[in-house]
Structure 1
Amino acid sequence: MLEVVKLFEDSSTVDELGIGSVRDTFSNAFFPGTSTLHTRARYLLFIPWLVNDVARHRWPAEKAQGELRRRETELIHSLIAGQEVQGVIGRDAKKSLKTMPSALYWASLETLGIRRWKTTISGYFRNAAQRSSTIDDPDADGTSLDHLGMTHLPRMPEDLTTSATFDLSRDEAEFLKTQIATSKRDSLFAWLAIHHPDSGAGRLWEHEAHDEFPRPIAELVDEARRFHFTGTGPAILYNLILAELADNEELVEQFTGALSAWAEDLEVHGIFDGWDRQQFWTRLLHLNPRIRPATQTFLNDWWQLAATDTHASQAARDLVTMRELRLKRGRARITYADARSTWGVGAGTGPLDFRWSIARSHLNDIADGLEA
C-alpha cells in the first residue's frame, strides 16, 4: 500500500494501463527484499538493532512500540548530526513522521533472512515479552548476544542514536553481503553482492559485469530490457489521446514527439530482433503465475502493432482506450470527460527501473564497506 502511495507522488510512474504486475515480477526476481521506499543499506541493520534493543526489556507490545518510535526519531537526528543529507527517512518530518523506517524495512528483513520470527513488529515484541530467559550481556569481545528473532547481527554501535552515518563497517558489509547472497541464491541481487557489488550503470543491461552474468540471469535481463523499451509506449499514446481531448496543442506536440522518439528507440536498439515473445511469457509466468491473461493479451496486441510500426494507428488508439475502460470502468479518462480532472500529465511514461536504482545504492554501500 505504501509503495502505491509513493507511485502517485511521481505521476510518471503511475500504472495507468495495468502492466505493473509484469514490471514487479522482474523487480522481485532481480532484487528480492528491496522496495521503492528504501534508501540506504544500513537501515537493514538500524532497524533490527533498535528493535532488539527495545525487545530486550520485555515491555508490553504497546509500550515497546512507543519506545521504538522514540528511538527511531533519535536515529533521524543522529543521522543529521552525522552529516547525512540524502536518504534520511524523516529528515524533514522528524518526530511527526507518520511511517517510520521500521515499517518500511520490516518485510525485507524477513526476505533477506535477517529476521527469523515471521510476525509483525508488535508480534515480535509480544514474543520477546513471553520469553522467560534474559538476554545475555555482550562477552568481553563484544561478539556474542542473544539476538531474539534476528539472525546473529554485527554489534550495534554505541553512538547509534547520537551521531550515525550510512557508512558500513567491513563486518557490517560482510554481514549484508552474506545475507543477500544466501537468502536468494539465484537472484541477480545475490550474484552482484558476491561478484560485482559496485556499479555506476544507469540500467541493468548496461552493468559493467553484464557479460559475466549467468545465462539464466542474462536472459531475464534481456527480457527486462525489451519490456523497458516497449512498456512505456501505451502510456505515451494514452497521454497523447488525453492531450488531444483536452485540446492542449503544447501537450499534443510534446507527446507526439515522445511517441516518435519511443518508436525510434525500438529500431535503434533492435528490440524486436529475435525476440521470442512466447518464451517471454513462459519465463514471466514461471516467476509469477498470477499475471492476468488480459494483461498478456493487451501487451501481445500492443507489441504486434509496435513491431509493424502501427503504434499510432486507430487500432492502437482503440486498444489503449478499451484497456483503460476495462480496468477503470466509470473512471476511464478517455471515455468519460468527468474523469479527466484527475489526469496527471505524463502518467505512466517514466522509465521502467525494476528497482535497480535502489539495489545499486545498497550494493554500492556494501562495496564501500568491504573496502573500509
Structure 2
Amino acid sequence: MPSVLAWIDHDSKARERTLRILSLFQEKESRDELGLGSVRDSFADQLFPGTSTIQTRLRYMLFVPWIYHSLEEKRLPAESFSIQADKLERDLVQPLMDSDDQAGVFGKTAGKRLKRLPSSVCWAGLGVWGIRITPFSQDEYHRRIDETYRGRNTLTALEKDAKARGDDIDVEQRMATLSWHPRLPAPPEDFPGAVNFALSREEAEFVRDRIHVACPNSLLSFLALHCEPADTQAPWEHPDYGRFSEQHKELLTHARLFSEVMHGAALSYNVQLARLRNHEDLVAEHQANFDEWTANLSLEEIRSWSVNRLWELTMDHGHTITPQTRFFVQQWIDHTRRSPNDLLTNADALTLIKRREMKLKGTRSRFRNQRALEQWGGYSGVGRLVYRWPNVKVLLNDLYQGMSREEKC
C-alpha cells in the first residue's frame, strides 16, 4: 500500500487523513531475505542519522529523557532505578491511548504488557542527536547511576572550593557529569499523567537544533530546517529535491538505483519459492510484479551506473559490507544489465539468488527445508527499499507541527 503524508491545517478531515497516514509507520521496510541490510542501513544512517524503522513518534525522544531525568532528580538508587523507569514507561500507554492521537503508541495492542519499551528503541538515536550525553549503553547507565550521583557530589564540592578561590567553573567537567542535554525542555506539569504526541514550539526547536548541531551534513537536518512535510513514497521524489546538496543528490541517486535493481532480486526469490510450492496463483502474481519491474527498469541508467562508487559511498560508515555481499550485488547487477527479461529463465541468475539465500539461512533455507517452505507466507522482502522514509516522514511531520504551533502566553 503506498504511503502518503500531509500536515494538519486545523481542518477535521485533514486531521483524520493525517492520523490514518501516520498509522502506516507500522508497515516496516522490506525484510532482509538476501542480506542487503548492511548496504541499506549505510544509506539510511547517512541520510537520516538517529532514526530507525521501529521509531514511531518524535515526542518519544523527549518522553524518555524526561522520565530518566526525573528519576535522577530524586536520586533513585541503582537497585530500583531500572524498575521504576520501566514502570513509568509502561504508564505512558494509557494516557497516550486516551489522547485524540493514538497513531504510533508503543503498547497500543499489548498495553502495559508491551515487550519493547520506547527507551530501548530511542536510546541510540538520543545519543546520535546529542540529547543523551551519557556514553553508556542503557543497561550500563542503569547500573552506574550511583556512580553518576557520586561524581556530581564531588563536582559540587570542587565548584564550591573554586568559587571560594574566585576561580572559573570548569564547564567540560560539569558536562561530563550530565546524562542529558542541559537545555532539555521541562516536561509539561501534568506529565506523565496526561500526555500526547503534540510537541510544543520550544520542544520542536530543541529537537531541531539538536539534529542540526549533531548531524549538520545530513539530509535529515536539511529537511528539518528548510522543508515542509512531503507527500512522496521515497526520499528521491521529494518536491524540494532540486534544493538538496550535490552530496545528498549523489547518495539518493545510488540509493535509488540500488533499490530499483535489487527489488528484482527479491521478486525473483518470491517467484522461485512460489514455483517450489506449486502455488499457481502466487507464481502468476509474483511473475506479473516481476514483469512490471522489468518494464519500468531504467536500464540505460543502470548500465552506466558506477558500482565502484556505490561501495565508496556505503563502506566504512558503521556497517560491515562483506565481500560476499558485494559479489552477490555485482553479479545480480551484471545479469540485469545484460538481459532483465531473461532473469527468470536464466539458470545462472536463478542459482545466484538460491545460493545467496541458502548461504544466509543455512538449514533454515526455504530451498532445502520443507517445513520452512511450508511456513512461508507467500511474500518475502517484496517491498522496495526506501531507507526508513515512511518513519522519517512521520518524525518530520511531528516536528513541523510543533514548529508551526504558537506558544501560549
Establish whether TM, by shorter chain, passes 0.5. yes
One-letter identity of the residue aligned with 1:292: T
Tell me the CA shift for residue 330 of structure 1. Answer: 2.6
1:115 match? 132
Tell me the CA shift for residue 338 of structure 1. Answer: 4.6
Question: Could you tell me whether the CA contact under 8 Å between 1:177 and 1:193 is conserved in 2?
Answer: yes
Question: Could you tell me whether the CA contact under 8 Å between 1:117 and 1:149 is conserved in 2?
Answer: yes
> CA distance change for structure 1 residues 133 and 216 in 2, over 3 Å: closer, same or farther?
same
2:358 match? 325
2:70 match? 53
Tell me the CA shift for residue 332 of structure 1. Answer: 2.2
Residues in 1 aligned to 2:197 and 2:319: alpha-carbon distance in whole angstroms:
38
Question: Could you tell me whether the CA contact under 8 Å between 1:285 and 1:291 is conserved in 2?
Answer: yes
Equivalent of residue 155 in structure 1, options 186, 210, 227: 186
1:300 match? 330
Equivalent of residue 343 in structure 2, options 308, 311, 316: 311
Residues in 1 aligned to 2:28 and 2:47: alpha-carbon distance in whole angstroms:
24
Tell me the CA shift for residue 289 of structure 1. Answer: 6.6
Question: Could you tell me whether the CA contact under 8 Å between 1:60 and 1:126 is conserved in 2?
Answer: yes
Residues in 2 aligned to 1:131 and 1:78: alpha-carbon distance in whole angstroms:
35
> CA distance change for structure 1 residues 256 and 247 in 2, over 3 Å: closer, same or farther?
same
2:103 match? 86
Residues in 2 aligned to 1:126 and 1:202: alpha-carbon distance in whole angstroms:
47
1:194 match? 225
Q: Percent identity?
A: 33
Question: Could you tell me whether the CA contact under 8 Å between 1:42 and 1:166 is conserved in 2?
Answer: yes
2:293 match? 262
1:106 match? 123
Tell me the CA shift for residue 331 of structure 1. Answer: 2.5
One-letter identity of the residue aligned with 1:360: K
Provide Cα deviations, 1:53-91, integer angstroms capped at 9, x if missing partner: 012112222312222222222222222232221111112
> CA distance change for structure 1 residues 10 and 162 in 2, over 3 Å: closer, same or farther?
closer
2:80 match? 63
Residues in 2 aligned to 1:11 and 1:243: alpha-carbon distance in whole angstroms:
23
Query: What number of residue pairs does the alignment pair up?
Result: 354
Question: Could you tell me whether the CA contact under 8 Å between 1:38 and 1:104 is conserved in 2?
Answer: yes
Tell me the CA shift for residue 237 of structure 1. Answer: 0.9
Q: How does 1:182-331 map to 2 (within 5 A)?
A: 182-267=213-298, 271-272=301-302, 274-287=304-317, 290-309=320-339, 310-312=342-344, 313-331=346-364
Q: Secondary structure at the match of 2:91?
A: helix
Residues in 1 aligned to 2:392 and 2:29: alpha-carbon distance in whole angstroms:
21
RMSD: 2.4
2:11 match? none
> CA distance change for structure 1 residues 86 and 338 in 2, over 3 Å: closer, same or farther?
closer
One-letter identity of the residue aligned with 1:125: I
Tell me the CA shift for residue 356 of structure 1. Answer: 1.1
Structure 1: where are the runs of 5+ without partners?
1-8, 137-145
Equivalent of residue 380 in structure 2, options 341, 347, 367: 347
Residues in 2 aligned to 1:366 and 1:12: alpha-carbon distance in whole angstroms:
22
2:172 match? none
TM-score after normalising by structure 2: 0.81
Q: Secondary structure at the match of 1:232?
A: helix
Residues in 2 aligned to 1:224 and 1:11: alpha-carbon distance in whole angstroms:
18
Equivalent of residue 42 in structure 1, options 59, 62, 67: 59
Residues in 2 aligned to 1:158 and 1:101: alpha-carbon distance in whole angstroms:
21
Provide Cα deviations, 1:79-104, integer angstroms capped at 9, x if missing partner: 22322211111123222122211121
One-letter identity of the residue aligned with 1:106: W
2:146 match? 126
Residues in 1 aligned to 2:199 and 2:327: alpha-carbon distance in whole angstroms:
46
Residues in 2 aligned to 1:22 and 1:99: alpha-carbon distance in whole angstroms:
26
Residues in 2 aligned to 1:260 and 1:32: alpha-carbon distance in whole angstroms:
35
1:17 match? 34
Tell me the CA shift for residue 14 of structure 1. Answer: 2.1
